[in-house]
């Protein structure tokens, strides 16, 4: 397979002004008729042939302006249909046959539980019909769907329904028209035996919009939260970004088999059922919050993605980075904002930083790819969002909003680039963002070494920041970036923030506006004057840039910040840094075989947290949570899986022993019989209670076991049940684990999304039988390699969240993953290329593990590989 390069971009030779489609649905032989209204693109070179994309299509008929083409008048290969002498204006008619039932890749048109559905982003549409399948070709669509009246009573597509009727042979049809020109990746068709819930929304200009959520009948009682989230998102986008919905109908469909979380097809969003269905008995608080976030995300795409779309797929972060930033802000406004920030940063710092430090590291705007579906990455999404957030930090909200308004107004209906977006931000602010653009082209996580000195005599604080970005594949040398570093100085006497006066080349300047320093050089010293007392610096507040920042904090400094920092994020981060210092010592002790000794300062800091009144209970729950094994691993030069696990368990148990009564008190204070609601307040209570229980269970305290069992049996809601079941199953006692597991499995055998949780809980247990369980559960009737949610719940959970067992020294964990990748490579290449990730990180481990992991990558490489897996394996072994 050959790479595609950003520098080779050419406008299309033709454009399509209108697309008329007809689907005659049948599981193994669906007929798709397409009538494309084509004309030569004014910017293209004259005389270029018309080359349409098409894969896995069986062409039945082709005609231009009503004239059938004969063999020789067009050329077919596995991926294209070429017409050499196409007129400047033409109507091209094609009829193809496709096989949705055989489509296990879940791209294009496929069957899920008897229901037809589509996934066209990025390049699935070419598996439906011959087309100019690229985002800069935008057309209005008119789509007729024909299907069996009994089997497929519901026939949906984008836009507005315009006609429906009966046909012979037990069939019926529906015709849909989408008046908004759109690229093919936003096309969708759904047909099946579905039922709907409806609601209404009145937009800010007073238009009525009908809202529908379509699900399988047994899931009708699981749509309330998604509908509430949708309405909240519609209001939020009007109030926050001035964006109004633009059709009379907005539909969401829940699908069981889906590669991604959801898809923003115009007017017809298709969702992975896991990202839309909730019920207090089946979904955890985390699932409720995910649904809110994803519903918001897909809805927000209507402007950031659909109305203004990407010129080419290298610009993917133009829509994804901006839309993730929008959904993160929405969730922050709906829930605890500091907790949302903590969660997003934790995810970024573990998963995205690891990606940026590994063999698949790529810029937020890549300059080449082999398989675009490999680039729906944490870098494009999460780091892309951080870049937009930095723009917000640099411009301030009001100016940022002006830039956003300008972007939507200027480029409405167009397919544009990242320069167009950043250009609007530069234009409204007057800022020179040339250096800032490097964030899009340079891969790797920048590292900042900070050093501070307080000069008593001059009452000055000198902060020196040194930045460097490590080399990444294909980019050995990096330039300094423009980095917004938000800071505070906390007075050691007063415990309060000191006023910030920056002493620069233009004289003294008050930094009251959020205290953002603009770091632009490789090394820069900032002089803060009129600093009345010795301060502890609070650096990178709110995580103002996606960097690793080192500062030689002592444990006293960190304890101090944990108590006094007014920045909620940095208070939490001070606690994490303090825990990391203790963990580092214990990891060293474990490796050297010396006795482990708990750091009393960490215990005392926790005691302080547990006993002092805390306003934000949700933040408290986060502060009581130790850094994850994955995060700790990120901080190690060579990952020592066993030492990390042992050190973390030791800290947790030591805290539990020392603070048992305090944890018990927290548990009891947060018990509640209130009717379940996914409210910020209740979620905070539940997480605090369950964190406390996890400490008690870490020492298998008798009272803790009793509480966990009671909580499991009470069955109050899935958050509490799952937390309790996890603790029982992850304990060393099979007498408490097995009965609970069995009861849960029997109770929920009919609900695949709950069974996914049952799978994950078992395969993440730290006990040595975890790998055997994975193998055993792969044969369970509720498991299927063809369903991406099952694969993620069983295999994904094991390889990503059960580090000690996946990295077993006999290599069996690696072999199991390779076996799965080899099978998925044939069934579903997109999922295969994702699930393989942990093997690609082999360079981070000891030599023995490196050899074992590499051997499995080589075994995979010897297979007949899809472009997806090929690209990743080649990079991993390069």
Residues with a known catalytic role: 298
Token pair listed for 821: 């990748």
292 binds ligand DPP, rule: CB under 6 A? no
CB of 389 to Zn ion, least distance (A): 16
Q: How many CB atoms lie within 10 A of CB 107?
A: 25
Q: Do the beta carbons of residue 38 and residue 50 sit within 8 Å?
A: yes
CB of 262 to ligand DPP, least distance (A): 6
CB of 693 to Zn ion, least distance (A): 35
275 binds ligand DPP, rule: CB under 6 A? no
290 binds ligand DPP, rule: CB under 6 A? no
CB of 634 to ligand DPP, least distance (A): 25
CB-based burial label for 839 (10 Å; 0-12, 13-18, 19+): buried
Q: How many CB atoms lie within 10 A of CB 106?
A: 24
How many angstroms separate the CA atoms of 592 and 597, rounded? 13
Q: Which stretch binds ligand DPP (CB under 6 A): 255-263, 338-346, 639-647, 822-830?
A: 255-263
Q: Which stretch binds ligand DPP (CB under 6 A): 175-183, 204-212, 296-304, 428-436?
A: 296-304
Given 20, 285, 320, 382, the residue binding ligand DPP (CB under 6 A): 320
Q: Do the beta carbons of residue 666 and residue 687 sit within 8 Å?
A: no
Given 20, 298, 371, 662, the residue binding ligand DPP (CB under 6 A): 298
CB of 304 to Zn ion, least distance (A): 9
The closest alpha carbon to 201, from 265, 247, 158, 253, belongs to 247
Q: Which is nearer to ligand DPP, 264 or 573 (CB)?
A: 264
CB of 261 to Zn ion, least distance (A): 8
Question: Does residue 147 sit in helix, strand or coil?
Answer: strand
The closest alpha carbon to 640, from 585, 569, 588, belongs to 588
User: What, of Zn ion, ligand DPP, none, does residue 570 touch, CB below 5 to 8 Å by kind?
Assistant: none
Q: Which stretch binds ligand DPP (CB under 6 A): 72-80, 146-154, 258-266, 497-505?
A: 258-266
Q: Which is nearer to ligand DPP, 259 or 685 (CB)?
A: 259
CB of 306 to ligand DPP, least distance (A): 10
Given 24, 216, 264, 640, the residue binding ligand DPP (CB under 6 A): 264
How many angstroms separate the CA atoms of 499 and 529, rounded? 9
How many angstroms separate the CA atoms of 190 and 152, rounded? 9
CB of 632 to ligand DPP, least distance (A): 29
Q: Which is nearer to Zn ion, 298 or 629 (CB)?
A: 298
Q: Which is nearer to ligand DPP, 384 or 752 (CB)?
A: 384
Q: Which is nearer to ligand DPP, 283 or 372 (CB)?
A: 372
Given 126, 266, 297, 590, the residue binding ligand DPP (CB under 6 A): 297
CB of 91 to ligand DPP, least distance (A): 31
The closest alpha carbon to 690, from 672, 674, 677, 678, belongs to 672
Q: Which is nearer to Zn ion, 130 or 322 (CB)?
A: 322
CB of 273 to ligand DPP, least distance (A): 16
Number of residues forming the site for ligand DPP (CB under 6 A): 9
Q: Which is nearer to ligand DPP, 300 or 439 (CB)?
A: 300
Given 260, 339, 623, 795, the residue binding ligand DPP (CB under 6 A): 260
Cα angle, residue 77 at apex, residues 76 and 83 outer, rounded to 5°: 35
Q: Which is nearer to Zn ion, 320 or 567 (CB)?
A: 320
237 binds ligand DPP, rule: CB under 6 A? no
How many angstroms separate the CA atoms of 300 and 287, rounded? 20
Q: Which is nearer to Zn ion, 186 or 234 (CB)?
A: 186
How many angstroms separate the CA atoms of 727 and 65, rounded? 68
How many angstroms separate the CA atoms of 96 and 31, rounded? 6
How many angstroms separate the CA atoms of 875 and 869, rounded? 10
DSSP output for 324-353: HHHHHHHHHHHS-HHHHHHHHHHHIIIIIH
Q: Do the beta carbons of residue 55 and residue 121 sit within 8 Å?
A: no
Q: Which stretch binds ligand DPP (CB under 6 A): 262-270, 597-605, 659-667, 723-731?
A: 262-270
Binding mask 487-526 for Zn ion (x = CB under 5 A): ----------------------------------------
Per-residue exposure over 207-233, b if at least 16 CB sit within 10 Å of its own CB, e if not = eebebbbbbbeebeebbebbbbbbbbb
Ramachandran angles phi, psi of 370, nearest 5°: -95, -50
Q: Which stretch binds Zn ion (CB under 5 A): 317-325, 343-351, 452-460, 652-660?
A: 317-325
Query: Of all helices (H) and strands (E), which one includes residue 157?
Result: strand 154-157
User: What, of ligand DPP, Zn ion, none, does residue 216 touch, CB below 5 to 8 Å by kind?
Assistant: none
- β-partners of residue 535 are 491
Q: Do the beta carbons of residue 748 and residue 722 sit within 8 Å?
A: no
Per-residue exposure over 322-335, b if at least 16 CB sit within 10 Å of its own CB, e if not = bbbbbbbbbbbebb
Q: Which stretch binds ligand DPP (CB under 6 A): 28-36, 157-165, 259-267, 325-333?
A: 259-267
Ramachandran angles phi, psi of 236, nearest 5°: -60, -45
Q: Which stretch binds Zn ion (CB under 5 A): 192-200, 319-327, 439-447, 716-724?
A: 319-327
Given 53, 107, 121, 599, the residue binding ligand DPP (CB under 6 A): 121
Sign of the torsion formed by the C-alpha atoms of 825, 829, 834 and 835: negative
Q: Do the beta carbons of residue 131 and residue 36 sit within 8 Å?
A: yes
Residues that bind Zn ion (CB under 5 A): 320, 323
Residues that bind ligand DPP (CB under 6 A): 121, 260, 262-264, 297-298, 301, 320
């Amino acid at each position: 397979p050959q790479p595609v390069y950003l520098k080779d971009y050419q406008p299309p030779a033709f454009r399509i002004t209108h697309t008329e489609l007809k689907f005659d649905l049948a599981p193994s032989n669906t007929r798709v008729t397409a009538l494309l209204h084509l004309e030569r693109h004014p910017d293209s070179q004259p005389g270029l042939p018309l080359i349409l994309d098409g894969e896995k299509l069986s062409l039945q008929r082709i005609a231009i302006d009503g004239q059938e083409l004969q063999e020789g008048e067009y050329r077919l290969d596995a991926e294209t249909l070429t017409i050499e002498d196409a007129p400047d204006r033409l109507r091209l008619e094609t009829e193809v046959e496709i096989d949705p039932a055989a489509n296990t890749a879940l791209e294009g048109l496929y069957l899920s539980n008897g229901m037809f559905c589509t996934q066209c982003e990025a390049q699935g549409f070419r598996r439906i019909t011959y087309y100019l399948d690229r985002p800069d070709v935008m057309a209005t669509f008119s789509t007729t769907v024909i299907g069996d009246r009994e089997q497929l009573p519901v026939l949906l597509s984008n836009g507005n329904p315009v006609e429906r009727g009966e046909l012979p042979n037990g069939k019926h049809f529906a015709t849909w028209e989408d008046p908004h020109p759109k690229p093919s990746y936003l096309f969708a068709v759904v047909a099946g035996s579905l039922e709907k819930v409806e609601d209404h929304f009145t937009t800010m200009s007073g238009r009525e919009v009908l809202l529908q959520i379509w699900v399988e009948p047994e899931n009708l009682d699981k749509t309330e939260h998604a509908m509430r989230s949708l309405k909240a998102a519609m209001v939020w986008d009007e109030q926050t970004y001035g964006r109004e919905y633009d059709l009379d109908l907005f539909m969401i469909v829940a699908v069981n088999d889906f590669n991604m979380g959801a898809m923003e097809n115009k007017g017809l969003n298709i969702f992975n059922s896991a990202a839309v269905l909730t019920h207090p008995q089946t979904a955890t608080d985390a699932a409720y919050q995910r649904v809110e976030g994803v519903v918001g995300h897909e809805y927000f795409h209507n402007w950031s993605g659909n109305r203004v779309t990407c010129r080419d797929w290298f610009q993917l972060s133009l829509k994804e980075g901006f839309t993730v930033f929008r959904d993160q802000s929405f969730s922050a406004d709906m829930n605890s904002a500091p907790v949302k920030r903590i969660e997003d940063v934790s995810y970024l710092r573990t998963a995205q930083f690891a990606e940026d430090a590994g063999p698949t590291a790529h810029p937020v705007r890549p300059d080449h790819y082999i398989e675009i579906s490999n680039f729906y990455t944490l870098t494009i999404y999460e780091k892309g969002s951080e870049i937009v957030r930095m723009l917000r930090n640099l411009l301030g909200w009001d100016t940022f909003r002006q830039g956003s308004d300008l972007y939507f107004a200027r480029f409405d209906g167009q397919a544009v680039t990242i320069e167009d977006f950043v250009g609007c931000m530069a234009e409204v602010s007057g800022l020179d963002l040339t250096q800032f653009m490097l964030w899009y082209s340079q891969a790797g996580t920048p590292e900042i070494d900070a050093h501070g000195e307080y000069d008593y005599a001059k009452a000055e604080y000198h902060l020196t920041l040194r930045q460097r970005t490590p080399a990444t594949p294909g980019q050995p040398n990096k330039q300094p970036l423009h980095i917004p570093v938000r800071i505070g100085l906390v007075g050691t006497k007063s415990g309060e923030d000191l006023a910030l006066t920056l002493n620069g080349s233009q004289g003294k300047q008050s930094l009251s506006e959020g205290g953002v320093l603009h770091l632009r050089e490789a090394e820069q010293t900032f002089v803060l004057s009129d600093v009345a007392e010795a301060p502890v610096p609070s650096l990178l507040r709110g995580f103002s840039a996606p960097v690793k920042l080192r500062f030689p904090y002592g444990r006293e400094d960190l304890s101090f910040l944990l108590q006094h920092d007014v920045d909620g994020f940095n208070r939490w981060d001070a606690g994490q840094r303090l825990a990391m210092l203790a963990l580092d010592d214990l990891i060293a002790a474990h490796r050297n075989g010396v006795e482990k000794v708990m750091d009393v300062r960490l215990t005392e800091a926790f005691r302080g947290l547990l006993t002092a009144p805390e306003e934000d209970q949700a933040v408290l729950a986060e502060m009581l949570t130790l850094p994850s094994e994955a995060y700790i691993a990120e901080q190690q030069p060579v990952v020592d899986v066993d030492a990390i696990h042992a050190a973390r368990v030791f800290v947790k148990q030591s805290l539990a022993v020392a603070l048992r009564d305090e944890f018990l008190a927290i548990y009891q204070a947060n018990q509640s019989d209130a009717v379940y609601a996914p409210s910020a307040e209740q979620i905070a209570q539940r997480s605090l209670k369950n964190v406390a229980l996890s400490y008690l269970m870490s020492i298998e305290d008798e009272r803790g076991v009793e509480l966990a069992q009671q909580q499991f049996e009470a069955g109050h809601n899935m958050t509490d049940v799952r937390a309790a079941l996890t603790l029982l199953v992850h304990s060393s006692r099979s007498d408490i684990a097995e009965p609970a597991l069995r009861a849960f499995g029997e109770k929920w055998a009919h609900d695949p999304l709950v069974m996914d949780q049952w799978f994950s809980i078992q395969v993440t247990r730290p006990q040595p039988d975890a790998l055997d369980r994975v193998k055993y559960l792969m044969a369970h009737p509720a498991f299927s390699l063809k369903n991406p949610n099952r694969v993620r719940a069983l295999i994904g959970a094991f390889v990503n969240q059960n580090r000690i067992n996946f990295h077993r020294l006999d290599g069996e964990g690696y072999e199991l993953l390779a076996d799965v990748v080899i099978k998925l490579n044939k069934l579903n290449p997109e999922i295969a290329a994702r699930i393989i990730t942990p093997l690609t990180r082999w360079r981070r481990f000891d030599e023995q593990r490196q050899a074992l992991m590499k051997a499995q990558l080589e075994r995979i490489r010897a297979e007949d590989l899809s472009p997806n897996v090929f690209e990743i394996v080649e990079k991993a072994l390069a």
